[in-house]
Structure 1
Amino acid sequence: MYKCAAILAAGEGKRMKSETPKVLHKVCGKEMVNHVIDIMRKAGMEDVNVIVGKGAEKVKEGTKTRNVSYSLQEVQLGTGHAVMSAKSFLNGKNGTVAIFTGDAPLIKEETVKKFLSFHEEGSFKATILTSVIEEPAHYGRVIRNTQGEVEKIVEAKDCNPEEAKVKEINAGMYCFDIEALLNSLDKLKNNNAQGEYYLTDVIGILKSEGFKVGAMITDFEETIGVNSRIELAETERILRNRTNRKHMENGVTIIDPNSTYIGSDVEIGRDTIIYPGNVLEGKTVIMENCMLYPNSRIADSIIEANVDIQSSVIVESHVGEGTTVGPFAYIRPESIIGKHARIGDFVEIKKSTIGDNTKVSHLTYIGDAEVGSGCNFGCGTVVVNYDGKKKHKTVIGDNVFIGCNTNLVSPVEVKDNAYTAAGSTITSEVPNGALAVARARQVNIEGWVEKKGLKK
């Protein structure tokens, strides 16, 4: 059966006190609405439509990589009105539409799949995702008849005293038969305390017409919506703990999960050990048997097996097998570090390729360079890649020895097996097997200190 999803993402989120639309605030490094979109995709939704309103252009920009369509709710007049805004997305479709909220990123893939199956196997025209909690407070109540069948949903502000005692609440997540939903939307009224069009009233309309309505109970934690920074922090805590637990169950050692931050899309191989203070973000992949000592940040990078990293930053780069990085190294975007290399303390690599078995041990900057294998960089080397207007490239061959305090003024090439003398400023090609010395000859002026009156 055809399945699609509509995601409610039009709210302003005033309690967030932010210029950023609520659904674009991040949980575990990813925008809340993108968490929901990704879950819908994993659960088998063929089309996903995002209903936007306040901050529409920002939401479109924040979700542009997700291959979704958009509907615009120009004025926010309730959840029913939001779905009315998506009529053009739904018209002509037959099957099931799942309606979820873009500020509830804790829903699980397996729950969505179970929810869809429950809806379809029960031949319901509508199915509500619900939870049972002791203090329902401001949540809408799910009212069932004596046979346990759903009769209606009543918003908290519209509950009578008996309805207010009900502990089963509406999670704000639904499955609908598309045709039945479209017919019911035309019959919605806004005669309620808020003067809004409630999507929940569709349930009463369908029941009055003799259609079956189902309700599936799930863990309340999965249905939590974010309306404030406090709730955002709590959602972050829940998802972070869930993510860390998944990796530990898969064979990763996380020494202190409470102080380890792993994004929801990060992949980690077994027998990797992660110390406290590490932040792993984006599409990062950490392979097997790596050692992440405390306080590194790795974003959108691939770290191959058996790599040790200490207190360093690696962004949008690739680190080869058996390499060591840090402490206090910075590997900037578009860098590729080879196998069994050494990137040491206070080394910065920018948009460069470093070959296998090359050692860049300390206090060195390499930018816009192509470095071969088996090289050694002395302390204090600088690739001078910027002339004030343009960046230029440096090419260093295999088995090259760069002496301490060498400046390589780009564009320049140092060929295989060449050496540079310590303190040299290299401005032209160094041939294969040559030693380049580019410094003034030392001159000692006897008695200079005394003549200048500087002797102490």
Structure 2
Amino acid sequence: MLAVAVLAAGKGTRMKSELPKVLQPLAGATLVERVLGSCRHLAPDRQLLIVGHQAERVEASLAALEGLEFVLQQPQNGTGHAVQQLLEPLQGFSGDLLVLNGDVPLLRPETLEALLEQHRSRGAGVTLLTARLDDPSGYGRVMADASGRVSAIVEHRDCSPEQRLNPLINAGIYCFNWAQLAAVLPRLSSDNDQGELYLTDTVAMLESATHLEVADAAEINGINDRIQLAQCEAVLQERLRRHWMAEGVSFVDPSSCTLSEGSRFGRDVVVEPQCHFRGHTEVGSGCRIGPGCLLENARLGAGVEVLYSVVRDAVVGAGCSIGPYAQVRPGSNLGERCHLGNFVEVKSSSLASHVKVNHLSYIGDADLGAGVNVGAGTITANYDGVRKHRTVIGAGSKTGANSVLVAPIQLGENVTVGAGSTLTRNVPSGALALGRARQLVKENWAGPQG
């Protein structure tokens, strides 16, 4: 059996944030969500999150995760004290305990799988993850022999000058035999420079300790401040871009683009510079995105082109063209081969296939039939100051430039709206609708006299 415990009780003072450190965002997910996700494939029998600072806020953010148990550490007196809080909830548990840190979000699932496999194959009391760093300052040093047997871990502040020359560091990731660990946890002492209970002290108390050296030291990068958060973001973004390029996506300038973990791409997608993908965004095969686009929780069909535009919480059908400088807002659904041109905004609207809204228009809370052509400057006036109302435009209808459709209003099929009209009443199919003030011309006008 396997239990996973994630240490997530710390304040994260150096983040200088009202948000708990483990809830800081990284490529569209919080740090702690990434840590929990890294061990999901191991299918643990128990998942426990040790919380402390702003515990209620952390618990609320993860309430939707099924099977996650919360354990309160109060006060926070070191990593050993944190794991001591598991003695009661894991009483009677027989198996291994994987201990992770809530601020180490770059661990690969295959690394944890290898750690668990080595731990079990060697029958160790504990197996810890290690790395060799050019500059190991600040990390605990792992004292190990050539066979990988570990004798002790010494925190940096407690190291002698000779021990500080050791480049093998403790990553803070452990796999314990729970029965052995539970037997020694009560014996931990706070007789150290910080006056805390160190989990690392248990290594010397257990029957056997081994280590697994990680191949890529970037995996064990911890986050204590915003500089390290940005560094981890860069590593994760590079991973994501490399993954999708291997799957058939072309990034013209990869380093200028950012992705979320939930982004998905078809093949032969071309992403121009300065494009950003957030949330659960899906981009169909053959799309061309950018330059200068933001897509968030958007779903694009095949062959869509988006240029210098924003698409959020919307569905875009195959073959559509959007931009430049268009915004597709939440609740919008574009049928196949629609065209939104420059400075067009669409919000909470449904556009059937082959609709054209070429420039300088606002389509809000509206339903447009197939083949509707919206003239420049057309506005659906959807708000009466209290409530929103819908506009319905039938298939094949056309609006002239600078038209205002005051909702609620319905235009039938194949309606023509004259340029400059303001319409407040329904229009039947096949009609011409005009709503202009009569033009007045005064000849030989001298203008105001001074």
Q: Give the structure-1-normalised TM-score.
A: 0.93
Secondary structure in 2 matching 1:185: helix
Deviation at 1:62, TM superposition (A): 3.2
Contact 1:378 1:405 in 2 (8 A): yes
For each residue in 1:21-73, what CA deviation from the matched residue of structure 2 results, as whole angstroms up to 9, or x when unmatched? Answer: 11222222322111112222234334432222112233223333433332221
Secondary structure in 1 matching 2:81: helix
Determine the structure 1 residue equivalent to 2:186.
Answer: 186
Determine the structure 2 residue equivalent to 1:150.
Answer: 150
Structure 1 segments (4+ residues) deviating >4 Å: 451-454
Determine the structure 2 residue equivalent to 1:410.
Answer: 407
Name the % identity.
39
Contact 2:343 2:360 in 1 (8 A): yes
1:248-327 to structure 2, matched below 5 A, reads 248-327=245-324
Cα RMSD of the aligned pairs, angstroms, is: 1.8
Of the three residues 349, 353, 370, the one matched with 2:350 is: 353
Matched, 1:64 2:60: no
How many angstroms apart in 1 are the aligned matches of 2:3 and 2:394?
55
1:365-380 to structure 2, matched below 5 A, reads 365-380=362-377
Deviation at 1:164, TM superposition (A): 2.7
Matched, 1:201 2:201: yes
Change in Cα spacing, 1:86 to 1:435, as seen in structure 2 (3 Å) is farther
Structure 2 residue identity aligned to 1:391: K
Matched, 1:30 2:29: yes
Secondary structure in 1 matching 2:182: helix
How many angstroms apart in 1 are the aligned matches of 2:99 and 2:138?
20
Change in Cα spacing, 1:89 to 1:429, as seen in structure 2 (3 Å) is farther
Structure 2 residue identity aligned to 1:106: L
Determine the structure 1 residue equivalent to 2:211.
Answer: 215
Secondary structure in 1 matching 2:202: helix
Structure 2 residue identity aligned to 1:215: H
Deviation at 1:136, TM superposition (A): 1.9
Secondary structure in 2 matching 1:253: strand
Contact 2:148 2:210 in 1 (8 A): no
Change in Cα spacing, 1:3 to 1:428, as seen in structure 2 (3 Å) is farther
Contact 1:371 1:395 in 2 (8 A): yes
Determine the structure 2 residue equivalent to 1:362.
Answer: 359
Structure 2 residue identity aligned to 1:411: P
For each residue in 1:154-189, what CA deviation from the matched residue of structure 2 results, as whole angstroms up to 9, or x when unmatched? Answer: 212222344333221110011122333322222222
Secondary structure in 1 matching 2:199: coil
Segment of structure 1 superposing worse, 361-370 or 82-91 = 82-91
Matched, 1:39 2:35: no
Determine the structure 2 residue equivalent to 1:396.
Answer: 393
Determine the structure 2 residue equivalent to 1:118.
Answer: 118
Structure 1 residue identity aligned to 2:280: K
How many angstroms apart in 1 are the aligned matches of 2:308 and 2:250?
18
How many angstroms apart in 2 are the aligned matches of 1:243 and 1:435?
54
How many angstroms apart in 2 are the aligned matches of 1:353 and 1:3?
49
Secondary structure in 2 matching 1:6: strand
Structure 1 residue identity aligned to 2:253: D
Segment of structure 1 superposing worse, 139-148 or 424-433 = 139-148
How many angstroms apart in 1 are the aligned matches of 2:431 and 2:253?
52
How many angstroms apart in 2 are the aligned matches of 1:386 and 1:87?
59
Matched, 1:328 2:329: no
